[in-house]
Structure 1
Amino acid sequence: MALYTRVSGSVSVITLQNPPVNALSAAVRQSILNTMERALSEPEVTSVVICGQNGKFCGGADIKEFGSNVRGPDLVPLIHRIESAAKPVVAAIEGIALGGGLELALGCHYRIAHSKAKLGLPEVTLGLLPGAGGSQRLPRLIGIPAALELITTGRHVTATEALQLGIVDEVTERNAVDAAVKFALSIAGKSLDSRRISTYPCPCPPDVDAVFETAMQRVRQRARGAIAPVACVQALRAAATLPYTQGMEKERELINVLLTSGQARALQYCFFAQRVVGRWSTPSGARWDTSKPRPIHRAAVVGLGTMGRGITVALAQAGFSVVAVETNEKQLTEAKQAVSGMLERGAKRRGVPLSLNKIIYSHKIQPVTDVDLVIEAVFEDMALKKTIFQQLSAICKPGTFLCTNTSGLDIDELAAQTQNPELVVGMHFFAPAHVMKLLEVVYGRKSSPQAVATAMEIGKKMDKVSVAVGNCSGFVGNRMLKSYLEQAFFLLEEGATPELVDEALEEFGFAMGVFRMSDLSGLDVGWKVRKASGLVAIEALTGPSARVREGRRYSPLGDLLCEQQRFGQKTGRGWYQYEKPGGRVAVPDPWLHRFLEEYRGQHGLVARRIDHQEVLDRCLYALINEGFRILEDGIAAGPEDIDVIYVLGYGWPRHHGGPMFYAGMVGLNKVLERLEHYHQVHPDVPNLQPCCLLRKLVASGSPPIQKWREVIKKPHSQL
């Protein structure tokens, strides 16, 4: 609704009321129209102020209305009515003015913003473009280059930047509504001919065609197959080259195409999925989120390698006091410098004061005795982690939560080293830990609901999306990744090249393919893990058993490259070659191609032609198949958990929704059929054998993803 009041005798104040962000639902739009007409019809009223309750102007359209039959007045004519008003209308922006909220403000004649307000047009992140005149008004107000950057990225700006760009007319430290009312009184009766943005000519650079050509190339490269950013450029070009009314027609045409696209559905699914995983429960139905997390005031990080440093920064930025422990004094010194640098850059970027006094460094473990929670972040070595957990259990005060930043080791095995296993959970961060949004919170057999709830709350305070998952090798993300990587290696054995595999995956939308990513992270990382697990037998890498491990097909290609000291970018050689160690530009390596030919000859493998579609089928469907197994095993509570993990942690292209959503989009029947085909061709690859849950879903009529949980709960006998 919109509350109508009058202040100072002649200023009507229209207050949007739709918590939590005053979204522009059908009821709100109708109420704005009604109150606006009332204000314009009352002769005593000389000016109007539009604001939002609870210190928030407007968060934009009501996303729940997307894809439905929209009722109530359309936002476009509503904004036109405000703009055409004969009385001045001032937007008092507090908190946020995003999407339709900013478009509403752009329809007002003046905009006054509080200094802490955030403004933006983030529709592109939902697979859309500003559809209520934003793509036509904003470039007329601030110019093409600035509008292109804001609209194609969806970036939010501060009130200060908005003032510099010309989006707002004034920034105040005081109450924005009071400032807007005072401003409205001062402009009553003045001509509004120069204040209606839709009448402005669009300021265009002389080489407008070149500007848009460059912008389109840049956007296509960055979008990696997403269509919304491309449509944004097309809409802005219409603003630059067409009259306003025709530009609005083009905007409407483009928004209609986007609204019916699968990509918009995928991106909106991602938006809601992040909310779903916050209401977490075990697959058996036990509600963890009903347990109250314990307050954490002081935390400790043990191990200050790359991950430990990032975790320390994330905790400090979230306001926790941190004890940072590193027993190697040289590494401790390096860590201090690195953490200070990251905090300094972060403070500058966020515009907040730098605070380094929240961190106490130590080369001994004893200072952790008085903390509320410890995050162990040493190297991925079970024996080392066991020793540390034994020490922590012995010296920490009663009730201290003990967490491990492991990417796949057994949480229960670590918990067994402690006196109170119910206090142990996994907190799997993703590198760089102070930047990446995902946190896998791993519960073991004895983890208490309060321990899990506390870890989830810590993640939330660090501005991360926390997903609770069960304990198994690799948890969710890395367990699925194993199947994906295996297929990529097998494709090399069968005739593909690293660049062909990577090209197919990057065309699909990944920022990097398997092999470029492997070179970036370092081939030796996985090699050490495989050796520690006993999977790699060095003496058998070229023998008859090289391609069989534990009774199943195994590719030793990565191990063989590591034997050659080809660790990726760090050594200048890996799956690709680089100009020098540490180089970033990957170039196909003739040595690697010869190596693959020799390997195939040694093992009697005949190279065949492999196309991009087979790469996608093998890699993606094997990944998806493992996702179904994870749901079947109860490691993830629902498909949304898996999709959020893969979008936020593993670079799955957001416009494809996530692996499980993508499976539903292409059709579960098709996924099942292709997996059956490839498993017949490769019976020695168990990961290609379709999961029972996938078969059950297909037998149930391939229900939409929102209904999968109901099928998952059915007994397997109902196949």
Structure 2
Amino acid sequence: MARYTRIPGSIALITLTNPPVNALSAAVRQGITDTVSRAVSDPEVKGVVLCGENGKFCGGADIKEFGGQMKGPHLVPMIDAIEATAKPVVAAIEGMALGGGLELALACHYRIAHVKALLGLPEVALGLLPGAGGTQRLPRLIGVPAALDLITTGRHVSAQEALKLGIVDRITAGNTLEVAAEFVRSVSAEQRLALPRLSTCPTPCPPDLDSFLERAMAQVRRRARGALAPVACVQAVRAAATLPYSQGMRVERELMATLFKSQQARAMQYCFFSQRSVGRWSTPSGARWDNSSPLPVQNAAVIGLGTMGRGIVVSFARAGIPVVGVEMDAKQLEISRRAVTSMLERDARRQGAELPEGLVRFTTDLRDLREVDLVIEAVFEDMALKKRVFGELSSVCRPDTLLCSNTSTLDLDQLAAATHRPELVVGMHFFSPANVMKLLEVIYGSRSAPAAVATAMQLGKRLGKVSVAVGNCHGFVGNRMVLPYMSQANFLVEEGATPEQVDQVLEEFGFSMGVFRMSDLAGLDVGWRIRKELGLTGPGVAPGEPARSRKGSRYSPLADLLCEQGRLGQKTGCGWYLYDRPGGREAKPDPWMRGFLEEYRSSHGLRARPVDQQEVLERCLYALVNEGFRVLEDGIAAGPEDVDVIYVLGYGWPPHRGGPMFHAAAVGLPAVLDRLEHYHQAHPDVPGLQPSALLRKLVARGSPPIHKWREVIKNIRSQL
């Protein structure tokens, strides 16, 4: 797992060999230990180059070993031994040096990186901290502020940024191994006597260290929203700044031990593995998309260049896929062209690269799509409009062109029926902004061919997304589940809570935004349009009454009433909150809202009552969870992992809580069932609070662990 060879110049080349990313498994650690010892003891060897096979240095620790008994050499002593060698050791970094891979490189005396390499310490995303000296060596190398940024966010940096920060000594566009070997040969005798060892270096600190660290901790706590790992990272870096190396390592070790055993680490590692396993989904007939070969996609088109469409165009350009942007209005087309160009220029500046030419074209004529392999429709969420677009595409495009819709709620089968090729119609539901958000729901219609779904799933991966295949129903998985969550928030406000109280409880749980702030950001008219489509509000529908059933269930017209008064959220300067101007971002409680709610309650015979934090949290979250169980019952998602990935990546569910289904398992399914029964008894007109059959069945089966749920789901899943 670590190959030893001699190369000219009396240099030992140690190559990590553990595909696909040369993770530091027990065998790799043993191999490094043995080969470094061999190089040190060989009098003919003047220096060492450490690299990874197949153009990848090292992706870090082998996460599959987490939770088991550690075998082989431990990482810290192995890394310390590399740093202590009297012969110069150079890390030749290609591909990536992440987590333990970067910690390994930091123990080397010098680091040479290829220009396309990525470096970082992403352990915080697993609920951990860099536990092999990363929190102690990196601050000593690049200073406390820069190290804190990288360690608490887990972000990856390019080779160019790594050079600027001082993480690497040199970058090259050529042969990294040759440059590293030449670097070793160039180390003078005097330099060999004083090889740079980070464990013995002082830590560069800002002038007022205590004040700086206090501010940093406050900022990290706000951003972390209850996550433990970022806070522990600050504590570890503080130790690097204030204690000798050996004592700092002791602090790092103690913090790591606490995090390693935490529920949050288990939740975040569950998220990590779930993102790599989701999306396996078969049709009712048993055909599987993942056993089908995807169709080739050499070029694409996007119809509708609003915010979402522009983001999708940018995603294609970033992936190097030629794309045509279509907008029927010439003025809107020019606005969109400038917006897309601006986003791509920002990307190019950030990466220090040239703006890609010829990848994006714009047109107002659908006939320009005659030769594209795939089209994504991203027009307004209006069934009649979308069906018209699909009918036109069916006539204009080649018979084998894949037709995709970015619909977030509408029936995919109706859209497919508007074409001559329903088997080549799938949903590709991006999340806004599409060039930023990692989630892609791929919707499988009743007539979608497995190869068409395979194509959309593979394309999502090319675009840098986590693709999850889901079934076809109103709202699919994410938006179907968000409706009862938002309804409960509205009901709580009807009953006596305030929008800011509900949001505060949800944000303290870990959401970046509560229900009402999120609604204002998205625009209240978005949901209003969907409710009109469902016939819940609009012309011909009597004004809503909170205690009256509408289509068999309680309905709150609060948001509709706000929309009717032109309060659409941030875009109009007022919605649930007040903003200093249209387009403003700072949400402030609106005194107007108090009077509005008092008048509303009075007109509907409601008496406001105190609503406590527990009720807000349980009614909102458990209504969401309950709908998740129903999604699984109906076969709309393949398993709880799919639901959780969708909510963590698409809806702001805090990763350190694993996802709604993981959270239900962590709380205890009997406790969730008990509270749902309690609230449904109190609110029998809210079907969303009636416990699902799957939840009841899981509790009756003794509440098996979440990875066993699929065995129960298989026995009750209905046909789509």
TM range (shorter): over 0.9
SS in 2 for 1:343: helix
Q: Bigger shift: 187-196 or 604-613? A: 187-196
After superposition, the Cα gap between the structure-2 partners of 1:716 and 1:291, relative to the gap in structure 1 and judged at 3 Å, is closer
| 1:659-674 matched pairs, under 5 angstroms | 659-674=660-675
Q: Which residue of 1 aligns with 2:198?
A: 197
CA distance in 2, matches of 1:65, 1:192: 38
SS in 1 for 2:370: helix
Q: Which residue of 1 aligns with 2:225?
A: 224
> Does structure 1 retain, via aligned residues, the 8 Å contact 2:404–2:425?
yes
SS in 2 for 1:296: coil
CA distance in 1, matches of 2:115, 2:310: 33
CA distance in 2, matches of 1:321, 1:11: 45
> Does structure 2 retain, via aligned residues, the 8 Å contact 1:5–1:12?
yes
> Does structure 1 retain, via aligned residues, the 8 Å contact 2:544–2:556?
no
SS in 1 for 2:113: strand
After superposition, the Cα gap between the structure-2 partners of 1:706 and 1:65, relative to the gap in structure 1 and judged at 3 Å, is same
Give yes or no for the alignment of 1:395 onto 2:423.
no
Q: Which residue of 1 aligns with 2:621?
A: 620
Q: Bigger shift: 708-717 or 683-692? A: 708-717
Offset, 1:537: 4.6
Question: For each residue in 1:408-449, what CA deviation from the matched residue of structure 2 results, as whole angstroms up to 9, or x when unmatched?
Answer: 101111111111210111111111122211111101110001
After superposition, the Cα gap between the structure-2 partners of 1:119 and 1:543, relative to the gap in structure 1 and judged at 3 Å, is closer
| 1:83-482 matched pairs, under 5 angstroms | 83-187=83-187, 189-190=189-190, 191-282=192-283, 286-482=287-483
> Does structure 2 retain, via aligned residues, the 8 Å contact 1:523–1:562?
yes
> Does structure 1 retain, via aligned residues, the 8 Å contact 2:50–2:92?
yes
TM-score scaled by structure 2? 0.97
CA distance in 1, matches of 2:250, 2:461: 42
After superposition, the Cα gap between the structure-2 partners of 1:285 and 1:36, relative to the gap in structure 1 and judged at 3 Å, is farther
After superposition, the Cα gap between the structure-2 partners of 1:640 and 1:283, relative to the gap in structure 1 and judged at 3 Å, is farther
Structure 2: state its 5+ residue gaps: none
Offset, 1:225: 1.0
CA distance in 2, matches of 1:544, 1:316: 49
Offset, 1:183: 2.0
After superposition, the Cα gap between the structure-2 partners of 1:531 and 1:477, relative to the gap in structure 1 and judged at 3 Å, is same
After superposition, the Cα gap between the structure-2 partners of 1:716 and 1:468, relative to the gap in structure 1 and judged at 3 Å, is closer
CA distance in 2, matches of 1:689, 1:266: 27
CA distance in 1, matches of 2:87, 2:638: 55
Offset, 1:542: 4.7
Question: For each residue in 1:612-665, what CA deviation from the matched residue of structure 2 results, as whole angstroms up to 9, or x when unmatched?
Answer: 221110111100110110011000011111111111111111111111111111
> Does structure 1 retain, via aligned residues, the 8 Å contact 2:137–2:198?
yes
Offset, 1:317: 2.3
> Which amino acid in 1 is paired with 2:338?
Q
Offset, 1:546: 7.7
> Which amino acid in 2 is paired with 1:58?
C
CA distance in 2, matches of 1:392, 1:527: 28
After superposition, the Cα gap between the structure-2 partners of 1:300 and 1:715, relative to the gap in structure 1 and judged at 3 Å, is closer
Q: Bigger shift: 369-378 or 268-277? A: 369-378
SS in 1 for 2:325: strand
Offset, 1:323: 2.5
CA RMSD of aligned residues (A): 1.7
SS in 1 for 2:715: coil
> Does structure 2 retain, via aligned residues, the 8 Å contact 1:375–1:405?
yes
> Does structure 1 retain, via aligned residues, the 8 Å contact 2:544–2:557?
no
Q: Bigger shift: 363-372 or 398-407? A: 363-372
SS in 2 for 1:57: coil
CA distance in 2, matches of 1:605, 1:482: 23
Question: For each residue in 1:575-618, what CA deviation from the matched residue of structure 2 results, as whole angstroms up to 9, or x when unmatched?
Answer: 11111222211111121111112211221222111112211101
CA distance in 2, matches of 1:592, 1:9: 77
CA distance in 2, matches of 1:628, 1:72: 42
After superposition, the Cα gap between the structure-2 partners of 1:684 and 1:164, relative to the gap in structure 1 and judged at 3 Å, is same
Q: Which residue of 1 aligns with 2:555?
A: 554
CA distance in 2, matches of 1:317, 1:108: 34
After superposition, the Cα gap between the structure-2 partners of 1:364 and 1:170, relative to the gap in structure 1 and judged at 3 Å, is closer
Give yes or no for the alignment of 1:606 onto 2:607.
yes
CA distance in 2, matches of 1:326, 1:196: 58
SS in 2 for 1:289: helix
Q: Bigger shift: 695-704 or 19-28? A: 695-704
After superposition, the Cα gap between the structure-2 partners of 1:415 and 1:435, relative to the gap in structure 1 and judged at 3 Å, is same
After superposition, the Cα gap between the structure-2 partners of 1:545 and 1:513, relative to the gap in structure 1 and judged at 3 Å, is closer
CA distance in 1, matches of 2:293, 2:376: 20
Q: How many residues align?
A: 717
SS in 2 for 1:447: coil
After superposition, the Cα gap between the structure-2 partners of 1:503 and 1:25, relative to the gap in structure 1 and judged at 3 Å, is same
CA distance in 2, matches of 1:142, 1:632: 52
> Does structure 2 retain, via aligned residues, the 8 Å contact 1:390–1:417?
yes
CA distance in 2, matches of 1:660, 1:527: 28
CA distance in 2, matches of 1:54, 1:506: 44
> Does structure 1 retain, via aligned residues, the 8 Å contact 2:279–2:470?
no
CA distance in 1, matches of 2:28, 2:461: 31
SS in 2 for 1:316: helix
> Does structure 1 retain, via aligned residues, the 8 Å contact 2:503–2:517?
yes
SS in 2 for 1:428: strand
Q: Bigger shift: 401-410 or 578-587? A: 578-587
> Which amino acid in 2 is paired with 1:271?
F
CA distance in 1, matches of 2:115, 2:336: 36
CA distance in 1, matches of 2:359, 2:36: 51
CA distance in 1, matches of 2:621, 2:546: 28
> Which amino acid in 1 is paired with 2:568?
F
CA distance in 1, matches of 2:419, 2:700: 46
> Does structure 1 retain, via aligned residues, the 8 Å contact 2:545–2:555?
no
Offset, 1:188: 6.5
CA distance in 2, matches of 1:87, 1:356: 47
Q: Which residue of 2 aligns with 1:531?
A: 532
CA distance in 1, matches of 2:46, 2:357: 52
CA distance in 2, matches of 1:208, 1:228: 21
Structure 1: state its 5+ residue gaps: none
> Does structure 2 retain, via aligned residues, the 8 Å contact 1:408–1:474?
yes
> Which amino acid in 2 is paired with 1:514?
V
Q: Bigger shift: 168-177 or 437-446? A: 168-177
CA distance in 1, matches of 2:717, 2:94: 54
CA distance in 2, matches of 1:416, 1:716: 26
Offset, 1:205: 2.3
Offset, 1:507: 0.5
> Which amino acid in 2 is paired with 1:123?
E
> Does structure 1 retain, via aligned residues, the 8 Å contact 2:114–2:173?
yes
Give yes or no for the alignment of 1:72 onto 2:72.
yes
| 1:555-570 matched pairs, under 5 angstroms | 555-570=556-571
TM-score scaled by structure 1? 0.97
CA distance in 2, matches of 1:349, 1:166: 18
Q: Which residue of 2 aligns with 1:23?
A: 23
Q: Which residue of 2 aligns with 1:578?
A: 579
> Does structure 2 retain, via aligned residues, the 8 Å contact 1:267–1:654?
yes
CA distance in 2, matches of 1:682, 1:192: 77
Offset, 1:281: 3.9
CA distance in 2, matches of 1:117, 1:665: 38
Percent of counterpart pairs with the same letter? 69
CA distance in 1, matches of 2:448, 2:603: 49
CA distance in 1, matches of 2:544, 2:195: 81
> Which amino acid in 1 is paired with 2:158?
T
CA distance in 2, matches of 1:243, 1:132: 16
Question: For each residue in 1:545-577, what CA deviation from the matched residue of structure 2 results, as whole angstroms up to 9, or x when unmatched?
Answer: 884311211000001111211111111111111
